[in-house]
Chains A and B, each alone.
Chain A
Amino acid sequence: MSLSIKDDEIDIVIGALRPDLTSFMNEWRTIFSRFHLIIVKDPDLKEELKIPEGFNLDVYKKPDIDRVVGTSTSTIFSGYSCRYFGYLVSRKKYIISVDDDCYPAKDNKGILVDAVAQHITNLTTPATPFFFNTLYDPFTEGADFVRGYPFSLRSGVQCALSCGLWLNLADYDAPTQALKPEERNSRYVDAVLTVPARTLMPISGINIAFNREVIGPALLPSLRLGGEGKFRWETMEDIWSGMCVKVVCDHLGLGVKTGMPYVWRNDRGDAIASLRKEWEGVKLMEEVVPFFQSVRLSREATTTEDCVAEVANVVKEQLGTKDPMFARAAKAMLDWVKLWKSVGSST
């Protein structure tokens, strides 16, 4: 853990899609207990949440969400998107978010991975998006920039987003997991690297951390599949949000890292059953990726909010006509910017 970061600069936001968080919280206790937690209950979840004692936390349920944003708006926080409410109401600098079906992982030496510490290290050391370092993160112990890395690029840029990975159940789409039902990710790759500027990637919401002060408004609930469900196989909301975040980061000269920390993702759900629901999302990516690769923001967009608004407008113009889902997503993005300004701002 970086010495310059105080525990009270961090919020851990958990979206609760299942009511019984007992084993989840207990597994994470040694890592989470020193931090403040925000638990947001999926507004569609009917059962009462079960949360063990001994944590410093705030729990938000549907009535709370309704109170803060209004009953008509609270629908945007359904399902996995409930965690965005946590991002909205947090007042901390750093947010770390993991899905409620993930436990701490063990590294290659059998030592428990402190995912929070690793995310914070990622966020508080520079990113290097303008030139690829073949020894990966040059700021990590025992590594450095390699021969040939321009000196003027060695101070790097601020890292806004840290994308972690998953052992056991990897974040595959339903067709892939259905084809290989036994496949589990057992490869622990001991690296963190910066995703190069203008390179896009699928940013999974399962294990993620970000600098809320710098990039907060860009993590947003907007794209909702018609058949969106309660398994990650049945969603694309995080992938969409991640594309926006990367485009905004590239424009503002901020970094995105990927790699460690790993979490252990428990087996859950049935890929074949989810196939039908996610197929829609799979098809969408064929449009979404070339679109985001072509987006160029104006020089006038100098704040994250402005960038998000610009992306939303381009989505409306270029994708909105192709599928009403995109038109709705664009509107949701603009609404989110307004919501962030009124509810989310730290002032």
Chain B
Amino acid sequence: MAEPATATQAAAPVVALLKDELDIVIPTIRNLDFLEMWRPFFQPYHLIIVQDGDPSKTIKVPEGFDYELYNRNDINRILGPKASCISFKDSACRCFGYMVSKKKYIFTIDDDCFVAKDPSGKAINALEQHIKNLLSPSTPFFFNTLYDPFREGADFVRGYPFSLREGVPTAASHGLWLNIPDYDAPTQLVKPLERNTRYVDAVLTIPKGTLFPMCGMNLAFNRELIGPAMYFGLMGDGQPIGRYDDMWAGWCTKVICDHLGLGVKTGLPYIFHSKASNPFVNLRKEYKGIYWQEEIIPFFQQAVLPKDCTTVQKCYIELAKQVKEKLSKVDPYFDKLADAMVTWIEAWDELNPTGPVPNGKAA
């Protein structure tokens, strides 16, 4: 049975990598008590708290953390009419944090995620592992059977072409979860007691051309390389769908990464996911998504971006155009979503005025 770690202080790193280059973005509607457990790992870093729900409520941040906090009033004030692209009453609002950050890297985590233990019982510094993942190359063009060749004790296997061994920059690092797994509502209903106790000691690059369901619970990315693609969509209040925010961002991100020659890793680090959300509530949120997904997936699998899309923003605008063209017929929601995607990019560019920098070569 998986359990969260308790002796986290002992595992705190001597040097906090990327201390001044990384922001931790946390969406919350309840409280931030979970931060106490993460203190030894997170305290050196700047936090961006995105407070969802009632803005008049005060969310207390534990002492000693350096942070900025935004509630709905702040989001409306800062974005004006463009605030319409930021979800309300859904953790999708976290992407506002990505937009206002001024750092190169982002780590985002849910407020019901705690420090996990590795099989030796040691507390896992998830942030440190994410940083390692982001700072070492990815290998999307050819699969390495020993997983991440840049990890200690591993390498490229026989037959791996030397010309591909430099790898490409890593845009995103997708971590996993022990205890409550990230299942959809139907699976949760069928297997309410299933817990993920399997610690898979691997990081691997998701191959080019392959899509995956990205989970936003334990995620890090290079904001300079891929930030504008991490829009978490229109979810929650007033929207017909929920719990598809991170997946939508993941599909857009992967298509763009594949196009620009960037890598996405998955695997370690694990966090301990403590709270199982209500499967009936989840079912209602996901219901439409379960059907729409059958159209969405082929859309992303077949999406082709033109060669002149050489920046993330250009890629994203093009994707928004294709969403409008091809998915509006599935439901008018996608028409709205496509518009919101454009609004997001406009807002991103307004708040990050240094302008788009070409990221890698277009595929």
Listed in ascending order, the chain A residues whose CB lies under 8 Å from chain B are 108, 131-136, 142-153, 163, 165, 170-173, 176, 180, 183, 185-191, 195-204, 232-233, 236, 239, 242, 258, 282, 285-286, 288-289
Contacts and interface: CB of A to CB of B under 8 A. Distances in A.
Contacts of A136: 200
Given A148-B184, A199-B207, A170 B157 contact: yes
Contact of B198 (A173, A188, A190, A236): A190
Given A134-B174, A136-B200, A286-B162, A186 B194 contact: no
Interface string B286-305: 10001001100100000000
Nearest to B143: A201
B157 A196 contact: no
Given A144-B183, A195-B143, A286 B157 contact: no
Interface string B187-230: 10001001111111110001111111111000000000000000
B201 A187 contact: yes
B280 interface: no
A108 B211 CA distance: 31
A170 B146 contact: yes
A164 to B, nearest CB: 9
Contacts of B121: none
A145 B182 CA distance: 9
Contacts of A151: 290, 293-294
Given A134-B176, A196-B210, A172 B157 contact: yes
Interface of B: 119, 142-147, 153-164, 174, 176, 181-184, 187, 191, 194-202, 206-215, 243-244, 247, 250, 266, 286, 290, 293-294, 297
Given A135-B196, A147-B247, A190-B198, 18 more contacts: A131-B212, A133-B212, A134-B176, A136-B200, A142-B194, A142-B198, A146-B183, A148-B293, A185-B154, A189-B200, A189-B202, A190-B201, A196-B210, A202-B159, A232-B158, A233-B158, A236-B159, A285-B161
Contacts of A285: 159-162
Contact of B145 (A133, A149, A183, A204): A204
Contact of B187 (A144, A195, A232): A144
Contacts of B147: 189
B139 to A, nearest CB: 11
